Amino acid sequence: MLIIGILIVTGFLVLPHFSSAYLVTLFLIMFVYIGYATAWNLMSGLTGYVNFGFALFVGIGSYTSVLLIEDLKLWWPAAWFLGGVSSAMVAVILGSFMLRLRGSYFAIGMLALLLGIKLLFTSKYLSPITRGGYGFPFIEPLSMNMMYYALCFLAMGNIFISYKVITSTFGARLIAIREDEEGAGSIGINATKNKIIAFALSGFLAGLIASGHIAFQNYIEPESAFSGQWTIVPIVMVLLGGPGSVWGPVIGAVILTFVEEFLWSHFTQAYMMIYGMIMILLVMMMPGGIIEWLKSRGTLPKIRSI
Amino acid sequence: MSETTRLNSLLTVDSLSKRFGSLHAVNDMTLSIETGKITGLIGPNGAGKTTLFNLISGVLNADSGKIAFNGKDITHKKPYQIAQLGIGRSWQLIRIFSKMTALENLLIAANRKKGNALKYAMELLDLFGLTEEKGNYAGELSVGQQKMLSIARILMLDAELMLLDELAAGVNPPEQDKMMAVIHQLCDEEGKTFFIIEHDMDVIMGHCDRVVCMNFGEKIAEGSSGEVQNNEKVIEAYFGG
């Protein structure tokens, strides 16, 4: 296992020296998706609170890092980090009241907040800072290869953090909340506090990855930074791979990056619709994703660290 | 209530009331639970027994009255705070985490340091005869084993008072005996206190030091099992019109 891991990582590291710019970009997008999927999973896969407002974290993180680099000339790693911090802060503020709602009310509420905040970023109230709904071009001071390595590092970091969380007592508490929130309360688990911490962590990682994601696009506007796509895509990836597991989101992200690339280049107009259909089929046929399916067949052991 | 019983009581409930619309689910309830004893709570269906448990464990908020644990007012505390203070409860519908292993179910409730928690969890599994099941999903255990696991789980909290709802229902007699033996052992050796709702009169009469009987949200009798068994109001509540 260790050898395979080392081989894969080495492959990632040497890739930019051998392959085309196209492949580098494709892998870069894969790292972004691994990051988003693991970040979404840490909150929603573990606690069962489905976050339809995930794109909010992406948008906030993107805007924060781009504006810090453009307007304040901040060193890019610091700006990316603060992109994560800003999303985490938004998560704490929104979570402190949204996470008192149960199940579908939380999901719908987050979707409404996403639409509302996207609108706020296009409005005249924030336009002195955000430059309004049309957005603006920018260039971040790092090469494509540097972005590739940075995102590779962040994606691996996300996997490591999600492994640490899922195998910890904190992770077990989050799963307990998903299984039975009232029961969790009766054994002394402060559900609201644990949910807010998980939400903030999910927001932080999303904002961090989003900062790297926006960096190579050289243009930012509310419509694409807060696009519902950044909610749908990670959810489908996690559902495919296996919610609540360490490797499920990663497997889902890797498979769907290439599926998406294929769909996007062949069915440019319909590809989000095809995505939606995949999501419906997954929920119906394979509710626990690939990982849970393999566990129930006995191919994988029933342990949380996978 | 005399001063001496107050001194020994771990939990005191004072004029507690809860209404659902026009229904007095619990009405002006006053009782005290003595430390290190097993107290039974009986009454016909709908008498308000589970509502009383929900009030004590903070799942429901009382309309009026007071609940004190170890002399501390817990009336308006949240469920997780009450659990952390040392009142554990089990549920009629068990509510263990079925997709976690038996051992994980215990570790997650731990109120102590990691290595220590694992040692205590293994001791509890052994005590309840569940050692062989530690790696199995809790949902795969028998009803009796699940109930014992749910008691072990609240013991992991280092709770002093256990509220056990419908302990024996659906559990086969040998497992019932095992369960009651463990409960007696915990009372006698560790001074744990139990307050149990039970419909099986053999369990109540055979094992409880004191029995409280409720009907229509009110306490209609209290005393030793023999006293309650022969109380006219109790007989009427169960058999009368």
DSSP string, B176-207: HHHHHHHHHHHHHHH--EEEEE-S-HHHHHHH
Tell me the domain boundaries of chain A: 30-227
Burial level of A148, CB count in 10 A (0-12/13-18/19+)?
Answer: buried
Task: Enter the tokens of residue B197.
Answer: 């709702």
Q: Class for domain B1-86+160-169+193-241, per CATH?
A: alpha beta
| Separation CA B239–CA B105 (nearest Å) | 41
Q: pLDDT tier at B150 (50, 70, 90 boundaries)?
A: very high
CB nearest to B80's CB, from A169, A188, A302: A188
For residue B76, give how far its alpha carbon lies from the nearest alpha carbon of chain A (Å): 15
Task: Enter the tokens of residue A197.
Answer: 């911490």
| Separation CA A132–CA A192 (nearest Å) | 35
Q: What is the ipTM for the molecules in this complex? A: 0.80
Size of interface A-B (CB pairs under 8 A): 65
The answer to whether the CB atoms of A302 and B137 lie below 8 A apart is yes
For residue B234, give how far its alpha carbon lies from the nearest alpha carbon of chain A (Å): 31
The answer to whether the CB atoms of A183 and B156 lie below 8 A apart is no
The answer to whether the CB atoms of A186 and B79 lie below 8 A apart is yes
Single out the residue of A77, A110, A73, A115 nearest to residue A93, CA to CA: A110
Residue A43 is given by DSSP the state I
The answer to whether the CB atoms of B108 and A187 lie below 8 A apart is yes
Q: For B186-195, how does the pLDDT look when each residue is reduced to its tens digit (9 = 90+)?
A: 999 999 999 9
Q: For A14-41, how does the pLDDT look when each residue is reduced to its tens digit (9 = 90+)?
A: 888 888 888 999 999 999 999 999 999 9
Chain A interface includes B80 (CB < 8 A):
yes
The pLDDT of residue B4: 45
Query: 10-residue block means of pLDDT along chain A (306 residues)?
Result: 85 84 92 98 96 97 96 95 98 95 91 94 87 89 92 96 93 92 90 96 98 94 93 93 94 92 84 81 86 85 76
Alpha carbon of A176 to those of A194, A207, A220, A243, B107: distances in Å? 11, 27, 39, 14, 11
Average pLDDT over residues B214-230: 90
> What pTM did the predictor assign?
0.87
Average pLDDT over residues B25-50: 92
| Separation CA B206–CA B204 (nearest Å) | 6
Task: Enter the tokens of residue A224.
Answer: 């694409």
Alpha carbon of B196 to those of A89, B11, B67, B142: distances in Å? 45, 14, 17, 21
| Chain A residue with Cα closest to B78 | A185
The answer to whether the CB atoms of A186 and B108 lie below 8 A apart is no
Q: pLDDT tier at B3 (50, 70, 90 boundaries)?
A: very low
β-bridge partners, B29: B16
DSSP string, A158-178: HHHHHHHHHTSHHHHHHHHHH
Question: What sections of A73-168 are H helices per DSSP?
Answer: 76-98, 103-122, 127-130, 144-166
